[in-house]
Structure 1
Amino acid sequence: MKRKLLLPERLMLGDGTAPFNGVYAIRINGVITAAGLSVALAKVQAKHPLLRAAVRNDATGAPWFELPAVHQPIPLIIKERTTSVDWQQEVRDAWASVFNLEAGPLINLTWLKGDAQSELILTFHHSMCDGGGGLMLVRELLAVADDPEKEIGIHPSFTTLEDIVPAHILHGKKEIFKAKLKALFIKGALASISAFVSTRGRQPISRQQDYLLHWKLDRQVSAALFQYCATKEVTVNTALCVAFLSAFKQVKGAKALNKIICPVDIRRFIPEITKDVIFSFGLSLELSLNHAQDVSFWERARLLQTVASQKIKKMNPYAFMLPFEYAHSGIKYMRKFLTYGKPVYDLMFSNMGKLDIPEQYQTFAVDTIFSPTVIGPFSNPTTIITSTYKGQIDFSFVSNYQVLDYQDALAIKEKAMALLTEELPVQAPEAALSSII
């Protein structure tokens, strides 16, 4: 069984030497065992073919997901936990880890083992799995670790384009013509742009220069923000976009690009990609702010909400996916531009929303699910991901010293949180906005 990688998957895979990993960290209170985790990993791997796959190139150099005759089990790495912040270093190490693509699998689990409290660090290659898929894997792993007899089902084969794109679109003459025409434009534009991008004497940014900021809003402030956004008729996602873009402008001044890229879960548009199917990429929403001095924060939020809603309504996942499948020959231009070109946005931002993971299991409880992180080899790795668990909004802010100074990142975080909470009917205590150290 094998499947050719789609172009966005190839883009994230690169040549296999540079990591592009997604990471989930989960804090557990109570009893977990190596035997229980091994059973959970085996059962989850048996369900999802991609968790057994390796990546191998054909005669033309194109990569394929392929199931080896004998697959390797998902590695379980056990380390002793000494402090409550060990997980942060493990996450940073996970960003820099390189999977053995030809052997597989493109996933592993680290258990930071403590007496009463532990962390699980799930790392996967982004070319195989996105944040939504990672959350599903966390849910399944915890369920089986708690109850080894639990049935989670089996997916018999890889998800292909034929599985998720209606036949009349995938094979329609009109749709194919449009897709090929758009692919020609994409390749031509990228070839022209990349011609002005020099690689002489330049190296991709170093993973050793990456950093992580993590913090939470407490339950009271989180609840107040949810309620206030509802009264203003904007989503929390939009309010957060306004806060971070405004903070970038305040901190970076003329160097701020006033552009934020928000991944949109493709599962919202393609029902065949269900919540228990691994998929690696989604759609993207590009937003900018009206920075006029006489526009208030919440008026900006309402204006941006209108724009975001209109853009999401017009999204067409098939019109996004199909042209790329006729543009594989342009991938070298895409990689060159994304790796060595100047950044064209301030940050990527993703809000995972409320995480549907149980808090209490039979032998353990979930203390915290830290918002996931992802980082790749491209010229701007700055990414903020938020999620809500147990009523608290959690933030992971990832960047690199070569791209965004650490002190600037701290200032952006503080200014964004101040803007977001200054009109709330509760006073945000300092502890609610502080990093967990």
Structure 2
Amino acid sequence: MKRQQNYWKHLHRKHMNRQLLFLERILYGDGVTPFNIVFVVKIAGTISHENLRNALTKIQAKHPLLRSGIKTDDKKMPHFFINDKAPEIPIRIIERRHNDDWIEASKDAWANVFDTQNGPMMSITWVRSPGTSELLMSLHHCMCDGGAAMLLIREILDLLDNPEKEIGRHTAFTTIQDIVPPQILHGRKQLFKAAVNGAVVRLALSAAATFISPGKTVKFDRKADYLISWKFSKADSSALFKACSAAGVTVNTALCVAFLSAFREVRGVAAHNKVTCPVDIRKFVENIRKDTMFSFGLALTLSMEKDPSMSFWEKTRLLQKKVTDKMAGMNPYDFLMTLENAHSTVHKMRKVLTYGKVGNDLMFSNLGKLDIPCHFNTFDIETIYSPSVIGPFANPTTIITSTFDNQIDFTFISNDGLLPYLDALSIKDSAITLLQHETAPITETVLS
């Protein structure tokens, strides 16, 4: 037990460098394989290169991770370190010719290999024309999740509009010591539980990895990755919000049922009836400040009822109960401390995720209503596209939604080798048709 406590004290010591957490190491991978998250904002108006450079300089000064690289120690453990000589965040400029130029630019950003040893692990692509621009912000997923990226976008937009604005500065990395309360972090009972659970995780990963042969796995052609983008009209968005409120369910749950139904309709027996949903860890851990970058959260794996006699809303309410029960049972501190006892098997986890059998249909994430105004003093935000992210894992299929200006936006990412592009289009159309049918008009059947 004493050895375990010494390990935690060493791990949590607050320095200008820190060891990557277990899930950060999963996202970091081998350091050269891209795993990037891309956000796109469409701006109506004129922005200047000078103001954009100023904005990037200020956010890089504020957030240590934007000045960081990753180096391994003599035990091959990767560490973030603040690189005082880190290059400035690069800006790539593309002349805007078509409304969908941002899609091809996003694909290029997926494939970009960051200099993870020196940083920065962020870049900007400016798709530029005199009156309209798309700003693409790309970051390595090992240091940033959706919530952190939206923070950065808001800071960039505020600084573009007001270059003199001060946004503060963080002087050190966020560590587990900052996140987990001391009575839990150093409690004998909690340490023992984390050690036991960590041993179980190590055994499970070792067993799972034993039966996986990377050489027998079909590797995807990354050129076959694709992105489908669409929006609900404001009327359809409003109808969905109202129907979910009437049924006592979240929009997130209703969309999960819609997409699982669409996968089953299009894919038939090839559908798994499983969706994985990330959960923002900030909802459970108040010590992760809203203006702090963090890269991962918790997760739910959900399945809907298959009974064909059940209505859409009956299935949605049942799934909502499952979500509520699972959320109530989540313990982020046990989760974090358990995984920090499993570092010796991180390579086995990557092996399972990259080459293992696909067991779910998709990853679904709903960022909800974005806290960004439509109008600034010097420009307007025409739209914000939901982010896209793709990595090396066996199932890259991801649908991400967000709501801006009372309109739901959808991004659908996958690879033609796993999910044919035409199937993805059919899944999209099936989900849209189902949701429109179930929400317009809203009748008493929603409440039955």
- Quick check: 1:96 aligned with 2:111? yes
The letter for the 1-side match of 2:386 is S
Asked if 1:57 corresponds to 2:66, the answer is no
Residue of 407, 417, 423 corresponding to 1:408: 423
SS at match of 2:107: helix
Distance 2:192 2:390 in 1: 35
User: Which residue is 2:41 aligned to?
Assistant: 26
User: Which runs of structure 2 are paired with 1:215-254 in the superposition (5 Å)?
Assistant: 215-254=230-269
Counterpart AA for 1:369: I
Q: Does the CA contact (< 8 Å) of 2:67 and 2:84 recur in 1?
A: no
TM-score by length of 2: 0.94
SS in structure 2 at match of 1:200: helix
Q: Does 1:281 align with 2:263?
A: no
In 1, Cα distance between equivalents of 2:347 and 2:218: 16
Shift of 1:425: 2.9
Question: What is the CA distance between 1:313 and its match in structure 2?
Answer: 1.2
CA distance in 2, matches of 1:31, 1:290: 50
**Equivalences for residues 1-12 of structure 1 within 5 A:** 1-12=16-27
SS of structure 2 residue aligned to 1:334: helix
* Counterpart in the other structure of 2:4: none
Q: 374, 378, 395: which is aligned to 1:359?
A: 374
Q: Which letter maps to 2:214?
A: T
Who is 2:134 aligned against? 119
Q: Does residue 195 of structure 2 align to residue 180 of structure 1?
A: yes
Give the Cα separation in 1 of the matches to 2:224 and 2:32: 17
Contact conserved, 2:88 with 2:120, CA < 8 A, in 1?
A: yes
Q: How far does the alpha carbon of each residue in 1:48-79 deviate from its partner, in whole angstroms, 9 at most, with x for none?
A: 00000001111111110001231211111112
Contact kept? 1:26, 1:370, Cα under 8 Å: yes
Distance in 2 (CA, whole Å) between partners of 1:315 and 1:395 is 28
Matched AA of 1:379: A
1:341 equivalent to 2:353? Answer no
Q: Deviations over 1:346-381 (max 9, x none)?
A: 100000000010111111110010001111100001
Listed one character per residue, the Cα deviations across residues 102-148 of structure 1 (whole Å, up to 9, x for unaligned) are 11011011111111100000000000000110000000000001101
2:312–2:438 Cα contact (<8 Å) kept: no
The whole-number CA distance in structure 1 between the counterparts of 2:222 and 2:186 is 42
- Compute the displacement of 1:207 (Å): 2.1
Of 43, 63, 66 in structure 2, the residue corresponding to residue 48 of structure 1 is: 63
Distance 1:162 1:130 in 2: 20
2:28 is aligned to 13
Tell me the equivalent position of 2:89: 74
SS of aligned partner of 1:44: helix
Letter in 2 for 1:174: K
- How far off is 1:201 after superposition? 5.0
Letter in 2 for 1:233: G
**Match of residue 105, structure 1, among 120, 124, 130:** 120
Q: Distance in 2 between matches of 1:78 and 1:113?
A: 7
Letter matched to residue 70 of structure 1: K
Letter in 2 for 1:368: T
Question: Residue 204 of structure 1: CA displacement?
Answer: 4.1
Mapped to 2, the partners of 1:71 and 1:97 lie a distance apart of 18
2:439 aligned counterpart, secondary structure: coil
Offset of residue 154 of structure 1:
1.0
Q: What is the match of residue 199 of structure 1?
A: 214
Alpha-carbon contact 2:44-2:131 (below 8 Å) kept = yes
In the alignment, which residue of structure 2 is the partner of 1:431? none
Out of 393, 403, 408, the position equivalent to 2:408 is 393
Tell me what 2:9 maps to. none
State the 1:166 CA deviation: 0.6
Equivalent AA in structure 2 for residue 72 of structure 1: P
Gaps of at least 5 residues in structure 2 are 1-15, 443-448
Deviations 1:180-225 (A, max 9, x none): 1111111111111111111125464332111001100000110111
- State the SS of the aligned residue for 1:360: coil
- Structure 1 contact 221–426 (Cα < 8 Å) conserved: no
Is the 1:55–1:101 contact (alpha carbons within 8 Å) kept by the matching residues of 2? yes
TM-score normalized by the length of structure 1? 0.96
Counterpart amino acid of 2:369?
Answer: K
Secondary structure of 1:422's counterpart equals helix
Cα distance in structure 2, aligned partners of 1:199 and 1:423: 44
Stretches (4+) displaced over 3 A: 201-204
CA contact (8 A) 1:381 1:400 kept: yes
Alignment of 1:360-375 (within 5 A): 360-375=375-390
Q: Does the CA contact (< 8 Å) of 1:53 and 1:65 recur in 2? A: yes
The equivalent residue for 2:278 is 263
Give the one of 304, 307, 310 matched to 2:319.
304
